[in-house]
A = this chain, B = another copy of it.
Amino acid sequence: MKAQTLRGFRDYLPEEMLAKDQMLATIRRVFELHGYPPLMTPALEYASVLLGKIGDEEEMLLYRFLDHGERDVALRYDLTVPLARVMAQHGGLQMPFRRYQIAPVWRAEKPAKGRFREFLQCDVDLVGVDNAVADSEMLLIGCFLLDALGVTGYSLRVGHRGILAAMIAWLGIEGGKAERDFLRTFDKLKKIGPDRFKVEIDRLLGLGGEKVDALLALAGDSGSTSEILGRLGEELGEEAAEPLGRLEEVFALVDGAGYSDHVKIDVTIARGLSYYTGIIYETFLDDMSDYGSVLSGGRYDQLIGSLSGKEFPAIGISLGVDRLFSALKEMGILAQKSSPADVLVVQFSESKARSSVQLAQRLRDAGISALLYPTAAKLKKQFQFANNLQIPYTAVIGEEEERTGTLQLKVMESGEQFQLSLEDAVKRILSGGGGQ
């Protein structure tokens, strides 16, 4: 056997998983606090369900094969197309329909640092409504989530496809390739700066002079949100009126909920996927811009309809779980643990097996995570095991303790030892913050 994961795939060993589960538990809790229930769909779908939905390039990356019944099947590529399939397949879903899904997806991309062929996606979507309340709900979920994760410095940058469309008309850019080139370059403006932007846009589209200077002024973020919206309205005229009106409503709702400090307009946000139709957003962590957007999404009013044959306006957020996880780790926000155990129950000798098993059980009954060292190995080895797994306490029953119905509790960090009753040991562990 070649004991090896496939290239672009990886194991999550316990230490990594304990931290990741901690983050995922917060994510689930925040989604459910907003009334979103979980949904689970199969990993495998008919290839015909997945094909022709996102783009040719993506389809090349499908893990696709014939199953035992010669059916053309593929591993899911994202969680949005399966959502569309669910909307089309199941009658009786309560509308508006909300759900979140946290599940792996598979893409046969060239592996690179931080890019894997199997990765966890985490999507939250609201289907069936196209209005400012729905739009604002997504922004508020994003803020609530980052707050709940303990992130303090972050900003949601909000744009709108309708404003971009008005800009494209205002610049006199043709559709097709020129439009895509503009969007791709404009999206990079904040990253590459105005000078390189001017060079690029001139090279790609032959645009320059006053028009581009006016564009750069429009893309700037000086002034309040309403000043920025006002500038855009004056310059872009009627074509931008509806999207600008929507954004004004959305910002008012976000402000009412107390999150205006974290939500900023940024008309350069374009988002790669072509299916967005309205508001779009990305989220950046302060001083951690290397990670890119950790939480992105937007309104996509046509996609589900085109898949399901029924009109379904929709809006969603996709979390970059791996990026977010790496960033949280770098910020030192997630507790690093090598074991879920609060206590290692040490086996003093083989004749104490029964007492040790009993002790571990009583600790668990009290809500304390107790790991029993399963053999009467040398005590030094057992204590070393506790240290290696960073288990904060050890408990041992020796001759004296067995006779007096007590136990020896050791605080591993300080080395302090106490001979205690079970009851007092439980209190001590729970108050020491080592309890679950």
Q: Which chain B residue lies CB-closest to A97?
A: B14
Q: Which chain B residue lies CB-closest to A376?
A: B133
Question: For chain A residues 55-106, which have a beta carbon within 8 Å of chain B?
Answer: 63, 65-69, 71, 73, 75, 85-86, 88-90, 93-94, 96, 98-99, 104, 106
Question: Are A129 and B307 interface neighbours, CB within 8 A?
Answer: no
Question: Are B353 and A253 interface neighbours, CB within 8 A?
Answer: yes
Number of copies of chain A assembled together: 2
Question: Are B34 and A369 interface neighbours, CB within 8 A?
Answer: yes
Question: Are A367 and B17 interface neighbours, CB within 8 A?
Answer: no
Q: A243-268 vs B: 1/0 string, CB under 8 Å? A: 00000000011001110000000000
Q: Which chain B residue lies CB-closest to A257?
A: B361
Known: A6-B71, A32-B436, A67-B108. A353 touches B132 (CB 8 A): yes
Q: Which residues of B contact A129 (CB under 8 A)?
A: 374-375
A355 to B29, CA, bound (A): 24
Q: Could you say which of B29, B34, B89 contacts A4, with CB atoms under 8 Å apart?
A: B89
Q: A335-354 vs B: 1/0 string, CB under 8 Å? A: 00011110010010000011
Question: Are A44 and B3 interface neighbours, CB within 8 A?
Answer: no
Q: Does A131 interact with chain B (Cβ within 8 Å)?
A: yes
Q: Does A358 interact with chain B (Cβ within 8 Å)?
A: yes
A43 to B120, CA, bound (A): 12
Q: Which residues of B contact A144 (CB under 8 A)?
A: 361, 364
A19 to chain B, nearest CB (A): 10
Question: Are A18 and B42 interface neighbours, CB within 8 A?
Answer: no
Known: A3-B85, A258-B361. A44 touches B106 (CB 8 A): yes
Say what secondary structure dominates the interface of chain A.
mixed
Q: A299-332 vs B: 1/0 string, CB under 8 Å? A: 0000000011100000000000000000000000
Known: A49-B1, A358-B256, A369-B35. A44 touches B436 (CB 8 A): no
Q: Which residues of B contact A94 (CB under 8 A)?
A: 338, 385, 388-389
Q: Does A283 interact with chain B (Cβ within 8 Å)?
A: no
A257 to B94, CA, bound (A): 48
Q: Which chain B residue lies CB-closest to A30?
A: B364
Q: Which residues of B contact A45 (CB under 8 A)?
A: 5-6
A41 to B367, CA, bound (A): 29
Q: Which residues of B contact A134 (CB under 8 A)?
A: 374
Q: Which residues of B contact A112 (CB under 8 A)?
A: none
Q: Which chain B residue lies CB-closest to A12?
A: B40
Q: Does A33 interact with chain B (Cβ within 8 Å)?
A: yes
Q: Could you say which of B65, B307, B367 contacts A65, with CB atoms under 8 Å apart?
A: B65
Q: Which chain B residue lies CB-closest to A16?
A: B40
Question: Are B90 and A37 interface neighbours, CB within 8 A?
Answer: no
A427 to chain B, nearest CB (A): 18
A134 to chain B, nearest CB (A): 5
Question: Are A4 and B46 interface neighbours, CB within 8 A?
Answer: yes
A203 to chain B, nearest CB (A): 34
A208 to chain B, nearest CB (A): 42
13 contacts between A and B (CB under 8 A): A4-B46, A4-B89, A5-B85, A6-B67, A10-B42, A12-B41, A14-B38, A15-B37, A18-B38, A20-B40, A43-B104, A129-B375, A133-B375
Given A6-B46, A11-B41, 6 more contacts at CB 8 Å?
A: A12-B38, A13-B86, A17-B38, A37-B338, A63-B65, A131-B375
- In the A-B complex, the 7 residue pairs with the smallest Cβ-Cβ separation, listed nearest first, are A35-B371, A14-B37, A65-B65, A3-B88, A35-B341, A32-B340, A12-B40
